[in-house]
C-alpha cells in the first residue's frame, strides 16, 4: 500500500513537471518597468495583450512580468489612469525572456517642456514634481517651502512647520515610503529648527492633501504629506551649495540590477540669516543629517528595503544687545535690552525602517515593515536682560524727531530652563493591496510602542524699577511660569484600516469613482477606541472629460501623542480624550488651455466641525497646550488654485485661501465690575469669587490661534526668450494677521491681530550645462549632466514681519507687547550640479 502511494505521488509530480515544461515550450516572458514621461515609476499600471485574458499590474517600482504565447505576433497594451495608452508588438520564441520598458505620457501633456501636475484621480490633494521647484527662492530648501503654494500656511521662513486649514503644526501626517515620521518636541523658535526629515534630492514624488484624505492614512486632524523616494536606475548624483549650507546625494545600481542605493548628506547653518535679527550676539546654528535608502530584490517577487536617517541639530546663542522699535507713528517706542548669559540647545534623532515587500506582479502586494524613531533633546538657557522702554519723539518739526524723548520704564528679566526629553517610538506594520480591473482593496494593521522620558525645569523672573512683577509688598520674590516636573510615559497603540476603491462606467458614458474606508485606533494610556469612517466620490461627466467634480467626508480623530497631555504646569492628564474633526468637502478640477498652453484649476470648499478640542497657545513655533478637552469649534473656507504655463515651457502656481476658524471654551465666563468711581468698567474676578457690582461676560466663539482670513501665494517662473538659460523665479506670500494676546492663559483676551505677513523672495539663475546638450567627452567636467548657478534675494521688500511678541511690564502693571521680527533682506548665491 505504501509503495502504491509513493508511486501515485511520483506520477503526479511527473505530470506537473511535464505540464510546466510544456507551458515553457509554448510561452515567452516579458518583463520591464512602466514609468511616466519624466522617468518616475508608475504603480498599478495595467499590462495585457490583445486577444488574451491575462492582465498584470506594475508594482511600486513600476516593474511587471507577463507571460505571452510564443512563436507569433503579440500586441502588448499598457494603460494607466489619465495616461495615453501605449502598444508594443513582439514575437518571441518559446522560453525566451525579453525586457520592455514603457513610458506613459499624460493625456493632458502637450509639450515636451512641461507636464501639468494636480490631483491624483478623484482625490482631494495635489501631486508635486520636486524638480520643478529646484530653483524656488527660499531660505530653506525644504518640502514645506513648496507646500505654501498648494494650501499650507507658514508665516515663518526660518521654520519647516506649517498649518493647514485652521490646524496647528502637530496635526499634520508625514509619510516617507509608507513609514510615518515625526517632528521634534522641544523646539521654541524657528531659528532653533534644523533640517526636516525629507531630503528633497532623494524624492521621486510628493502628494499633499489638505483634508478629506483616505482611510489608509493615519489619525491626524488636518493634512497628509505622502513622499516617495525613487529607486535609482544608474549611477548619478547631485551637489548643491549656498551661503546657508550644502548637500550632496549619490545613488547607484548594481550590474545585475538587483541592488540599488542612495546616500544623502545635508548641512545647514542659519547663522548668515540670524545676523539680520534684532537680537545681536554670537549665533552658532549647525544642522547636519545623513540619510540612506537601500533596496535589494531577493527574488522576482520579494524585495527588501532599508531607510535610515541620523540628524544632529545644535543651536547656541550668546546674546549681547537688542533694539526694537514698535508702536505707531504718533506713539513710537523703542525697546532696548543688554543681555548676559547664553542658550544651548541640542537635538539628536535616529530613524530606522526595514521593510519586506511581496508582489505577485499581477494583482496582489504585501508589505511588512518594522521601524524605530529615537530623539534626545536638551534645552538649557540662563539669560538675563536689562531693558529700557523709551518714548520716541513723534513731532516731525523737531530736530530730535525719531530720537528718545523720555524713558517709560526700566527693568530686568531672567529666563531659566533645564529641559531634557528622550523618546522612543517603535512600529510593526503590515499592509496589503488587492487590485484587479474593477476593484482596488487596501488594508493594514499597525502596532506601536512609545516610551517617553521628560524632565522640565523652567521659570521666568521680571523686575521693574526695583519691584518684582507682580508687585506684592513685604513678600518674597515671585517667579513666573514655574514648571518643575518629571514624566515617564509607556504605552501601546493598535491601528487598523480597510479601504475599497472602484470606478464605474455609467450608462451615459460618464465615469463615477468611489472610495470608502474605515480606520480603527486604540491607545492603552486612555483605553479609548476610535472608529473613523471616510469616503471620497468623484464624477467625470461625459459632456466634458476635462472636468472632475468630487466630494469627500469622514471622521478624523487625533489621539494625544505627548505634548497634548501636558498642561502649563507640566503635569500629565490621563483623562484626556482624542480630538475629533468631521470633514465635509466639495470640489472640482478643470483642465483647460489658454494661449494654446495647458492649465489646471482646482477649487475646494470645506467645513470642519471640531469636538473635544485641546486649546493651546502659540509663541513662534512653540505650542503650549492646556492639557484638557475644553472646547468645541469649527473651521470653514475655500481654496482656489491654478497651475500651468503662464510662460510657455515653465510651470507656475498661484493659490488663494480663505479661512475662518473659531472655538468656544467651556467655563471661560468672567465678570466685569464697576470701579470705585462708579463709571469705569474693568476686568473682575472669575466665577468662584463674584463681586457685588458685576456684569457676567461670556466670550462665546473666539478666533483660534491659526485663524488667518486670507492667504495668497504665488510661485512664478520666467526666462529671457532669446536666452532661455537665464531664468527668474519669484515666490510671493501674503497673509492677513494672526490673533494674539497677552500671556495670561485666558484665551478670550487674544483679541489683537498681528500685522499682515508679506514676503517676496526672488532668484535669478543661469544654466551653464544643459542635460539635453552634454559636454564633449574631451571636456574636463564632462561627467556633469547639469549645472546651475544663481543669486537670490530674500525678503526683497524689506518687510519687518512679526512672528510673536515679548511681553514686559512696568511697576504700574502696564504691559507692552514688543514684536519679535523675522529676518530682513538678505542676499545669497547657490550652485546646483547634477552628474
Residue 436 DSSP class? -
| Burial profile 630-663: b = 16 or more Cβ within 10 angstroms, e = fewer | bbbbbbbbebbbbbbbbbeebbbbbbbbebebbb
Does position 263 have pLDDT exceeding 70, yes or no?
yes
Torsion over CA of 87, 89, 94 and 100, rounded to 10 degrees? -50
Q: Given this model, what pLDDT does residue 194 score? A: 74
* Percentages (nearest 5) of helix, strand, coil residues in the chain: 5, 60, 35
Confidence of residue 114 (pLDDT cuts 50, 70, 90): very low
231 close to 202: Cβ distance less than 8 angstroms: no
- Which H or E run includes 24? helix 2-26
Does position 593 have pLDDT exceeding 90, yes or no?
no
Does position 294 have pLDDT exceeding 70, yes or no?
yes
582 close to 555: Cβ distance less than 8 angstroms: yes
CA atoms within 13 A on the CB side of 97: 6
Q: Given this model, what pLDDT does residue 97 score? A: 82
> How do residues 299-314 score in pLDDT, each as one tens digit?
888 999 999 999 998 8
d(CA 405, CA 646): 53
d(CA 210, CA 151): 7
**Could you write out the DSSP letters of every residue in 142-159?**
SHHHHHTTTTEE---TT-
Does position 633 have pLDDT exceeding 80, yes or no?
yes
Confidence of residue 68 (pLDDT cuts 50, 70, 90): confident
Output 376 or 678, whichever has higher pLDDT.
376
- pTM for the model stands at 0.83
Confidence of residue 420 (pLDDT cuts 50, 70, 90): very high
211 close to 300: Cβ distance less than 8 angstroms: no
Residue among 675, 705, 669 nearest 689 (CA):
669
Other C-beta atoms closer than 10 Å to the C-beta of 781 total 11
Question: In whole numbers, what is the pLDDT of the chain averaged over residues?
Answer: 84
Instruction: Calculate what percentage of the chain has a pLDDT beyond 70.
Output: 86
Q: Given this model, what pLDDT does residue 4 score? A: 45
498 close to 518: Cβ distance less than 8 angstroms: yes
Q: Are strands 102-104 and 27-36 parallel, antiparallel or unpaired?
A: parallel
**Per the structure block, which three cell numbers stand in for 124?**
482631494
pLDDT (mean) for 155-182: 90
Does position 511 have pLDDT exceeding 50, yes or no?
yes
Confidence of residue 753 (pLDDT cuts 50, 70, 90): very high
Burial of 772 by CB count in 10 Å (0-12 exposed, 13-18 middle, 19+ buried)? exposed
Does position 528 have pLDDT exceeding 50, yes or no?
yes
Specify the residue for cell string 538649557. Answer: 380
Q: Given this model, what pLDDT does residue 40 score? A: 66
pLDDT (mean) for 418-425: 93
Q: Given this model, what pLDDT does residue 473 score? A: 54
91 close to 72: Cβ distance less than 8 angstroms: yes
Range in 341-345, 751-755, 810-814 the model is least confident about:
810-814
Residue among 581, 666, 657, 599 nearest 631 (CA):
666
Greatest mean pLDDT among 50-59, 117-126, 185-194, 352-361: 352-361
Q: Which residues contact 474 (CB under 8 A, 6 or more apart)?
A: none
3-class state of residue 561 by DSSP: coil
Q: Given this model, what pLDDT does residue 23 score? A: 43
CA dihedral sign of residues 337, 340, 341, 344: positive
Q: Given this model, what pLDDT does residue 117 score? A: 47
Instruction: Calculate what percentage of the chain has a pLDDT beyond 90.
Output: 37
243 close to 272: Cβ distance less than 8 angstroms: yes
d(CA 404, CA 397): 15
d(CA 325, CA 802): 12
Q: Given this model, what pLDDT does residue 193 score? A: 75
Range in 8-12, 159-163, 438-442, 514-518 the model is least confident about:
8-12
Greatest mean pLDDT among 42-51, 60-69, 503-512, 818-827: 818-827
- C-alpha angle with apex 351: 563 to 517, nearest 5 degrees? 70
Write the CA distances from 35 to 61, 233, 351, 472, integer angstroms. Answer: 9, 12, 29, 73
**Per the structure block, which three cell numbers stand in for 465?**
524699577
Write the CA distances from 66 to 30, 726, 798, integer angstroms. Answer: 5, 46, 60
> How do residues 198-215 score in pLDDT, each as one tens digit?
888 898 888 899 999 999
Q: Which residues contact 89 (CB under 8 A, 6 or more apart)?
A: 73, 74, 75, 76
Residue among 286, 233, 234, 292 nearest 265 (CA):
292
Does position 688 have pLDDT exceeding 70, yes or no?
no
Other C-beta atoms closer than 10 Å to the C-beta of 14 total 10
pLDDT (mean) for 572-580: 92
Q: Given this model, what pLDDT does residue 2 score? A: 46
Output 4 or 809, whichever has higher pLDDT.
809
- Which H or E run includes 609? strand 597-613
- C-alpha angle with apex 515: 513 to 517, nearest 5 degrees? 170
d(CA 574, CA 566): 10
Output 794 or 38, whichever has higher pLDDT.
794
Does position 471 have pLDDT exceeding 60, yes or no?
no
**Could you write out the DSSP letters of every residue in 614-668?**
--EEEETTEEEE-SS--EEEEEEEEEEEEEEEEETTEEEEEEEEEEEEEEEETT-
Does position 261 have pLDDT exceeding 80, yes or no?
yes
**Could you write out the DSSP letters of every residue in 277-306?**
SSEEEEEEEEEEEEEEEEEEESSSSEEEEE
Does position 25 have pLDDT exceeding 80, yes or no?
no
Does position 474 have pLDDT exceeding 50, yes or no?
no
- C-alpha angle with apex 528: 526 to 531, nearest 5 degrees? 155
pLDDT (mean) for 600-605: 93
Q: Given this model, what pLDDT does residue 713 score? A: 94
| Burial profile 393-411: b = 16 or more Cβ within 10 angstroms, e = fewer | eeeeeeeeeeeebeeebbb
pLDDT (mean) for 222-243: 90
Q: Given this model, what pLDDT does residue 611 score? A: 95
Range in 7-21, 118-132, 660-674 the model is least confident about:
7-21
Amino acid at each position: 500500500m505504501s509503495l502504491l502511494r509513493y508511486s501515485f505521488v511520483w506520477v503526479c509530480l511527473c505530470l506537473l513537471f511535464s505540464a510546466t515544461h510544456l507551458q515553457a515550450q509554448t510561452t515567452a516572458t516579458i518583463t520591464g518597468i512602466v514609468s511616466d514621461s519624466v522617468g518616475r515609476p508608475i504603480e498599478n499600471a495595467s499590462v495585457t495583450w490583445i486577444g488574451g485574458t491575462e492582465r498584470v499590474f506594475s508594482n511600486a517600482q513600476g516593474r511587471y512580468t507577463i507571460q505571452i504565447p510564443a512563436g507569433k505576433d503579440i500586441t502588448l497594451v499598457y494603460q494607466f489612469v489619465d495616461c495615453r495608452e501605449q502598444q508594443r508588438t513582439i514575437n518571441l520564441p518559446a522560453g525566451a525572456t525579453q525586457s520592455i520598458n514603457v513610458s506613459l505620457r499624460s493625456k493632458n501633456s502637450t509639450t515636451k517642456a512641461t507636464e501639468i501636475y494636480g490631483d491624483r484621480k478623484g482625490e482631494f490633494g495635489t501631486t508635486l514634481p520636486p524638480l520643478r521647484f529646484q530653483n524656488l527662492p527660499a531660505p530653506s530648501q525644504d518640502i514645506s517651502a513648496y507646500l505654501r503654494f498648494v494650501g499650507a500656511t507658514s508665516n515663518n521662513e526660518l521654520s519647516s512647520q506649517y498649518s493647514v486649514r485652521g490646524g496647528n503644526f502637530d496635526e499634520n501626517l508625514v509619510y516617507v515610503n509608507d513609514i510615518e515620521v515625526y517632528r521634534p518636541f522641544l523646539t521654541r523658535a524657528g531659528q532653533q529648527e534644523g533640517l526636516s526629515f525629507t531630503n528633497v534630492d532623494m524624492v521621486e514624488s510628493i502628494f499633499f492633501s489638505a483634508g478629506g484624505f483616505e482611510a489608509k492614512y493615519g489619525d491626524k486632524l488636518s493634512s497628509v504629506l505622502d513622499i516617495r523616494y525613487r529607486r535609482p536606475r544608474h549611477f548619478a548624483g547631485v551637489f548643491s551649495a549656498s551661503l546657508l549650507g550644502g548637500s550632496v546625494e549619490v545613488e547607484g545600481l548594481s550590474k545585475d540590477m538587483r541592488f540599488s542605493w542612495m546616500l544623502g548628506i545635508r548641512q545647514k547653518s542659519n547663522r548668515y540669516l540670524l545676523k539680520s535679527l534684532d537680537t545681536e550676539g554670537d549665533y552658532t546654528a549647525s544642522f547636519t543629517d545623513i540619510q540612506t535608502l537601500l533596496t535589494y530584490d531577493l527574488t522576482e517577487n520579494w524585495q527588501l528595503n532599508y531607510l535610515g536617517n541620523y540628524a544632529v541639530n545644535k543651536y547656541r546663542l550668546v546674546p549681547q544687545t537688542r533694539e526694537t522699535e514698535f508702536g505707531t507713528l504718533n506713539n513710537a517706542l523703542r525697546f532696548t535690552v543688554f543681555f548676559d548669559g547664553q542658550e544651548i540647545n541640542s537635538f539628536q534623532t535616529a530613524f530606522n525602517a526595514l521593510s519586506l515587500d511581496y508582489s505577485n506582479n499581477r494583482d496582489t502586494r504585501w508589505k511588512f515593515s518594522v521601524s524605530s524613531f529615537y530623539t534626545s533633546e536638551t534645552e538649557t538657557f540662563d539669560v538675563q536682560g536689562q531693558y529700557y522702554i523709551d518714548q520716541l519723539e513723534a513731532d516731525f518739526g523737531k530736530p530730535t524727531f525719531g530720537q528718545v524723548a523720555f524713558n517709560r520704564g526700566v527693568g530686568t528679566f531672567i529666563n531659566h530652563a533645564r529641559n531634557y526629553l528622550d523618546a522612543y517610538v517603535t512600529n510593526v506594520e503590515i499592509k496589503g493591496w488587492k487590485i484587479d480591473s474593477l476593484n482596488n482593496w487596501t488594508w493594514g494593521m499597525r502596532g506601536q510602542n512609545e516610551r517617553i522620558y521628560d524632565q522640565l525645569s523652567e521659570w521666568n523672573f521680571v523686575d521693574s524699577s526695583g519691584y518684582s512683577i507682580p508687585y506684592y509688598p513685604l513678600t518674597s520674590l515671585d517667579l513666573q511660569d514655574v514648571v518643575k516636573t518629571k514624566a515617564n510615559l509607556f504605552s501601546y497603540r493598535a491601528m487598523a484600516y480597510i479601504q475599497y476603491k472602484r470606478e464605474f462606467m455609467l450608462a451615459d458614458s460618464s465615469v463615477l469613482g468611489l472610495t470608502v474606508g474605515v480606520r480603527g485606533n486604540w491607545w492603552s494610556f486612555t483605553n479609548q477606541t476610535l472608529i473613523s469612517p471616510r469616503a471620497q466620490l468623484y464624477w467625470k461627466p461625459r459632456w466634458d472629460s476635462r472636468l472632475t467634480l468630487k466630494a469627500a467626508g469622514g471622521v478624523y480623530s487625533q489621539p494625544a501623542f505627548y505634548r497634548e497631555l501636558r498642561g502649563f504646569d507640566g503635569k500629565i492628564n490621563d483623562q484626556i480624550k482624542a480630538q475629533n474633526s468631521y470633514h465635509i468637502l466639495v470640489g472640482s478640477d478643470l483642465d483647460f488651455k489658454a494661449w494654446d498652453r495647458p492649465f489646471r484649476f482646482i477649487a475646494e470648499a470645506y467645513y470642519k466641525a471640531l469636538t473635544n478640542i485641546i486649546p493651546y497657545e502659540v509663541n513662534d513655533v512653540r505650542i503650549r497646550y492646556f492639557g484638557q478637552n475644553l472646547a468645541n469649534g469649527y473651521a470653514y473656507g475655500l481654496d482656489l488654485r491654478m497651475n500651468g504655463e503662464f510662460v510657455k515651457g515653465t510651470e507656475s502656481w498661484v493659490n488663494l485661501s480663505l479661512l475662518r476658524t473659531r472655538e468656544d471654551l467651556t467655563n471661560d465666563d468672567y465678570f466685569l465690575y464697576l470701579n470705585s468711581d462708579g463709571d469705569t468698567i474693568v476686568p473682575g474676578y472669575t466665577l468662584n469669587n463674584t463681586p457685588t457690582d458685576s456684569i457676567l461676560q461670556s466670550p462665546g466663539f473666539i478666533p483660534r490661534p491659526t485663524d488667518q482670513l486670507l492667504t495668497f501665494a504665488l510661485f512664478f517662473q520666467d526666462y529671457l526668450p532669446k536666452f532661455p538659460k537665464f531664468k527668474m523665479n519669484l515666490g510671493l506670500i501674503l497673509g492677513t494677521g494672526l490673533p494674539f494676546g497677552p500671556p495670561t492663559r485666558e484665551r478670550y483676551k487674544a483679541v489683537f491681530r498681528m500685522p499682515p505677513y508679506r514676503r517676496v523672495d526672488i532668484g535669478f539663475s543661469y544654466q551653464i550645462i544643459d542635460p539635453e546638450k552634454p559636454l564633449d567627452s574631451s571636456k574636463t567636467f564632462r561627467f556633469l549632466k547639469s549645472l546651475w548657478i544663481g543669486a537670490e534675494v530674500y525678503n526683497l521688500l524689506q518687510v519687518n514681519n512679526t512672528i510673536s511678541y515679548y511681553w514686559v511690564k512696568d511697576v504700574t502693571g502696564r504691559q507692552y507687547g514688543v514684536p519679535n521680527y523675522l529676518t530682513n533682506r538678505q542676499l545669497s548665491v547657490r550652485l546646483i550640479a547634477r552628474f
